[in-house]
Structure 1
Amino acid sequence: MKTRKYIAVLSISFGLLLQGCTKLDQEFYSSVTPETFFKSEKDIMAALYRPFTHAKWYMGEDRWRLQEYTADNFAITTKGRHWYNGGENERYHYHRWTADDGWIWGSWRGTLMGVALALDAKSDLSKLDYARFALTQDDQDAHLAQLDALIAYFYLRGLDYFGGMPVFESLEEEALPRNTDVELFNHIERLLKESIERLPVKAAGDREEGAIRKAAAAAMLAQLYFNAEAYIKKPMYAEAREIAEAIINKEYGDYTLDATWNGVHGFTNNASPEIIWSMPSEFKMLEYNWFYADFYHYNTRQYFNQDMGANNGAHLTPSRKPDGTLYKDEFKLGSPYEKFTQGDYRKAPYVYHGSGRYEGMFIVGPHRTPSGAPILGGEEYKDLPLNFVDQVGRFSEVGPGKKYSSVNQLPSKMSEGEENTGVRLVKVPIPNLNDNTLRWGADMPVIRLAELYYMAAECRFRDGDAAGAAELINSVRKRNFSNGADPNPVTAQNLDKYRFLDEWSIEFLGEGRRRTDLIRWKAFTTEEWWDHTPSNSDHLNRFPVPNEAIAGNNNLTQNPGY
């Protein structure tokens, strides 16, 4: 929980009609103009941060799902009578999505709606005389720069998901065709470069409250260059490294790695020196909570000593076969839980100790209340103690007179889950009811300094400096072990493509980036993991333009292969 200048929501009816996501009409319900509507600095800040509330929504839900359920770390298995969902979850896991799938349409529409909201705010604020509100020209420049950087953020995600999108710079433009990948790349680059010049830097001790500052825009530019080979077929790792190392060296503001693994994820992470940009969250105010229902069992409320129900859908992909042997000798990707080294603080079961203190990051093994009583199942294990396993299989159907005589006969695939299937991630801490004011008190990290360390490390590795890359990664890894003694450090000898992908997975598990990392390493369509065979179809590195968007705008063209 924090006291903060909170991102406000301006109650304006936009009537934004994103039919086809390029016809951007506005319907105003009075003749109010920006010059007459704004009465105080509070009104200005509300207008400035309105598109940020959309960004907070955009960063989770369907965008997260496209990044994680299509990759090797997460799955939503069918669990008996639950979660088949018309085959939707399997389509994403097996890379058989279509241009009619809802997560894809929601992400196309949400991307361009974010651009439209930011442009609308920019149009209003650019017309104001800031001196009327005892504000300076520098204040106005910084506000407009934030909106430009936010527009760049939405387009950067759109470029990652779809490739070229319609580039519009006002809400007067209608039914635009798609710009090329290179044109969209250049537009994002220009917006970020111009924003960096006008944004303020973070001073030592400043808390992260959700505004975009100079380092955040610079980090986005580094991300653009880092993935440029995938976006525009032009490697730009040298450019990415230059920016990443400049941020590490405090040239864009005062940031340092957090001393503890959960300082960057905990209830007071707005004070973490590692956070470069985050989305604020607080109980009953812009809560960062969408994942809860998807991740946890119906009865996990008893584990947390909370009052919230859940849908028991998502879990980590399994590290073990039904017979208990590891997949690591069969697949180089996936097995996210067992990729954590034994002794890593994060690998422990999640336990809340009170007053905001907690340990561990997973729900695994026997499910018990804080007092130690077993938590019972309600489906395959109705009235029996729940035990969450790092496996997928219908173990309840093994035994005399049942479908399978031994676990060796069990298939392990998307259709074979049970209510206790899979390790569950608790990266956002959940307090008990006694500390319920802390609920959703952890902000959502969007960019943190550790990403720049890993980015610089990968760029060094690609440039032949494996020792330098290992040093950067180990500087982050060591905080996860007692006295900083890492039993499995990265070395120049053990660092290769797969160790790099493992390190990205371990540090950023569940942070909505896995698909992008796999694509950058040319692994998304070429590698296998649990219950996923490679398609070797490069067109799947991009999602299709949704049919609903094309129906609303016949100037849009479909991506190749769809």
Structure 2
Amino acid sequence: MKKYIIFICAGFGLLTMNSCTKLDQEFYSSVTPETFFKSEKDIKAALFRPFTHAKWYLGEDRWRLQEYTADNFAITTKGRHWYNGGENERFHYHRWTADDGWIWGSWRGTLMGVALALDTKSDLEKLDYTQFALTDELKASHLAQLDALIGFFYLRGLDYFGGMPVFESLDQEALPRNTDVELFNHIEKLLKAALENIPAKAAGDPEEGAITKGAVAAMLAQLYFNAESYINKPMYNEAKVLAQDIINNKYGTYSLDSKWNGPHSFTNNKSPEIIWSMPSEFKKLEYNWFYADFYHYNTRQYFDQDMGANNGAHLTPSRKPDGSKYDSDFKLGSPYEKFSAGDFRKKPYKYLGSGNYEGMFIIGPHLTPDGKPIVGGEEYKDKPLDFVDQVGRFSQVGAGKKYANVSQLPSKMSEGEENTGVRLVKSPIPNLNDNSMRWGGDLPIIRLAEVYYILAECNFRTGNLSEAANLINQVRKRNFADEKDSNPVTTANLDKYRLLDEWSIEFLGEGRRRTDLVRWKAFTSERWWDHNPSNAAHLNRFPVPNEAIAGNNNLKQNPGYE
């Protein structure tokens, strides 16, 4: 077995890259399985190295491409902060280019994940597991997990870019892009093969980051569910069969969590709803990248914590500067007001101690846990902060100021302030007294609720509105006292927009919104807040980064970006 540094497009830690589609090898040592692997612990360490990359991959640039380009989130310019050379506006207005860093980071991150998994697979294939008192069945399971992980990375790459180079070993160089259909078929082959050898999750087993049979089946369902937007071939019936089988526990034992926050709590690894998640633990593998982006510089006082933040992201507004709702202006967006009255999640976030908390948002007066006002440092320097579900320069309204009254205020990406926008607290934050629980909530990747919604949408598309409504309501009811939903889904109110609203409500901030809009042909054709439709279909995919093409002249650009 040879150990090597893999080059894929610029460095991450020990990995560097000089070409985006060239999995070069520089051999710095030559070792054998007998000398490199000493125990089962060594095998597991190798197996889970590419999973660590997957945890990183699920956040940051990939999340930004999914959410800041869609209708639920924005990073407005806040006075002297966050213009960022126009980057945030380019993505919000769908004016990105092949030189944008988020796109480059996602292309190279995808192929790096493939390379890491292929590297580990190559190593483990050479091992005789019986020498470690391990079975051949376990070896087959480990190799299948790596196939599934490769399928996971390529599935995301297909979603972002369409066809990508298909690597099946590390000695291939400068490959051209495979077609969309070829990549789709490769993903399907990987997942179907993995499904045969990966064991199912047993009832009561906590999630620890490994891919189980249920996760593979769910990824295959995701592939089919979005096939129409990937390869122009509707495969909702195939997705429907898989989703129903998962719900029927054919691929492992899962059930919807009865608690509204069970899938996101400090102990969500024990939630029966989690099909696949990434472990998170304080001062170890932390799921925390979002903290700095979402919260105000002084929000640490709200949480009674010691962490700083950058005050960037927030929900797109549900209300105009004058306080009226955007209801009649557009059908997408307005995420906060899409939550119904009485929904447990709609409360302001409050940590109650001992791992208990309520609410999911920061909105209204910003107060310390003992009720003292938290003051601002920019437009509201030394004044109490009050987070509003609006975008506008309210500090510039009044006698002798830029605007005489609120009705004159524009609401757009350039007009934010330090208190602009509702902030999401989906992963709970404890106070310093319970700091050992910090980052205790694992990163959910696939939840059973998603499978319910896939099945619901498939039923909707085939005309079974009553079953679609029933499936969604089974998830919704846990968010209300005594399971009495104030606004249940019915056959009368269920249409394309209600479905998109339900995806938004349940999976707000979980890095999937763009994919849902693309599937419904709404990403480029619909209006929301400060975003007008382009009707430019090529924007449903991102361009191949220019840095990737510079490193491999066999790559061809996506149509519309030439």
Q: Which residue of 2 aligns with 1:530?
A: 529
Q: Which residue of 2 aligns with 1:83?
A: 82
Q: CA deviation at 1:487?
A: 1.1
Is the counterpart of residue 16 in structure 1 residue 3 in structure 2? no
Q: Which runs of 5+ in 2 are unaligned?
A: 10-17
Give distance in 1, aligned partners of 2:26 and 2:367. Answer: 54
Q: Deviations over 1:227-248 (max 9, x none)?
A: 0000000000000000001000
Give distance in 2, aligned partners of 1:331 and 1:163. Answer: 29
Q: Which residue of 1 aligns with 2:107?
A: 108
SS, match of residue 557 in structure 1: coil
2:366–2:384 CA contact under 8 A, matched in 1: yes
Q: Which residue of 2 aligns with 1:398?
A: 397
- The one-letter code matched in structure 1 to 2:511 is G
Q: Which residue of 1 aligns with 2:15?
A: none
1:210–1:280 CA contact under 8 A, matched in 2: yes
SS, match of residue 370 in structure 2: coil
Q: Which runs of 5+ in 1 are unaligned?
A: 1-11
Q: Deviations over 1:488-518 (max 9, x none)?
A: 0000110000000000000000000000000
Q: CA deviation at 1:30?
A: 1.9
Q: CA deviation at 1:123?
A: 0.1
Give distance in 1, aligned partners of 2:186 and 2:299. Answer: 46
Q: Deviations over 1:65-114 (max 9, x none)?
A: 00000000000000000000000000000000000000000000000000
Give distance in 1, aligned partners of 2:190 and 2:276. Answer: 17
Q: Percent identity of the aligned residues?
A: 79
RMSD: 0.7
Q: CA deviation at 1:27?
A: 2.4
Q: Which residue of 2 aligns with 1:5?
A: none
- The one-letter code matched in structure 2 to 1:256 is S
Give distance in 2, aligned partners of 1:332 and 1:49. Answer: 43
Give distance in 2, aligned partners of 1:399 and 1:372. Answer: 29
Q: Which residue of 1 aligns with 2:225?
A: 226
Q: Which residue of 1 aligns with 2:490?
A: 491
Give distance in 2, aligned partners of 1:399 and 1:293. Answer: 32
Give distance in 1, aligned partners of 2:295 and 2:211. Answer: 32
SS, match of residue 446 in structure 1: strand
- The one-letter code matched in structure 1 to 2:41 is K
- The one-letter code matched in structure 2 to 1:383 is D
SS, match of residue 192 in structure 2: helix
- The one-letter code matched in structure 1 to 2:403 is Y
Q: Which residue of 2 aligns with 1:153?
A: 152
Q: CA deviation at 1:15?
A: 4.4
Q: Which residue of 2 aligns with 1:7?
A: none
Q: Which residue of 1 aligns with 2:13?
A: none
Q: Which residue of 1 aligns with 2:381?
A: 382
Q: Deviations over 1:250-287 (max 9, x none)?
A: 00000000001101000000000000000100001110
Q: Deviations over 1:447-473 (max 9, x none)?
A: 000000000000000000000000000
Q: Which residue of 1 aligns with 2:320?
A: 321
Give distance in 2, aligned partners of 1:67 and 1:31. Answer: 41
Q: CA deviation at 1:36?
A: 2.3
Q: CA deviation at 1:31?
A: 2.0
SS, match of residue 26 in structure 1: strand
2:4–2:29 CA contact under 8 A, matched in 1: no
Q: Which residue of 2 aligns with 1:336?
A: 335
Q: CA deviation at 1:194?
A: 0.4
Give distance in 1, aligned partners of 2:201 and 2:279. Answer: 17
4+ residue runs over 6 A deviation:
none
Give distance in 1, aligned partners of 2:27 and 2:364. Answer: 56
- The one-letter code matched in structure 2 to 1:425 is L
1:35–1:127 CA contact under 8 A, matched in 2: no
1:68–1:513 CA contact under 8 A, matched in 2: yes
1:237–1:459 CA contact under 8 A, matched in 2: yes
Q: 1:405-416 counterparts in 2 under 5 A?
A: 405-416=404-415
SS, match of residue 530 in structure 2: coil
- The one-letter code matched in structure 2 to 1:297 is H
SS, match of residue 28 in structure 1: strand
Query: Normalising by the residue count of structure 1, what TM-score does the alignment of the two structures yield?
Result: 0.97
Q: CA deviation at 1:329?
A: 1.2
Q: 1:107-186 counterparts in 2 under 5 A?
A: 107-186=106-185
Give distance in 2, aligned partners of 1:126 and 1:491. Answer: 52
Give distance in 1, aligned partners of 2:342 and 2:178. Answer: 49
Give distance in 1, aligned partners of 2:72 and 2:37. Answer: 47
Q: 1:95-494 counterparts in 2 under 5 A?
A: 95-494=94-493
Give distance in 2, aligned partners of 1:472 and 1:206. Answer: 25
1:146–1:199 CA contact under 8 A, matched in 2: yes
Query: Normalising by the residue count of structure 2, what TM-score does the alignment of the two structures yield?
Result: 0.97
Give distance in 2, aligned partners of 1:351 and 1:529. Answer: 30
Give distance in 1, aligned partners of 2:47 and 2:247. Answer: 29
SS, match of residue 405 in structure 1: coil
Q: Which residue of 1 aligns with 2:50?
A: 51
Q: Which residue of 2 aligns with 1:500?
A: 499
- The one-letter code matched in structure 2 to 1:270 is N
SS, match of residue 353 in structure 1: strand
Q: Which residue of 2 aligns with 1:34?
A: 33
Give distance in 2, aligned partners of 1:146 and 1:443. Answer: 19
1:17–1:26 CA contact under 8 A, matched in 2: no
Q: CA deviation at 1:21?
A: 1.7
Q: CA deviation at 1:26?
A: 2.3
Q: CA deviation at 1:414?
A: 0.1
SS, match of residue 264 in structure 1: helix
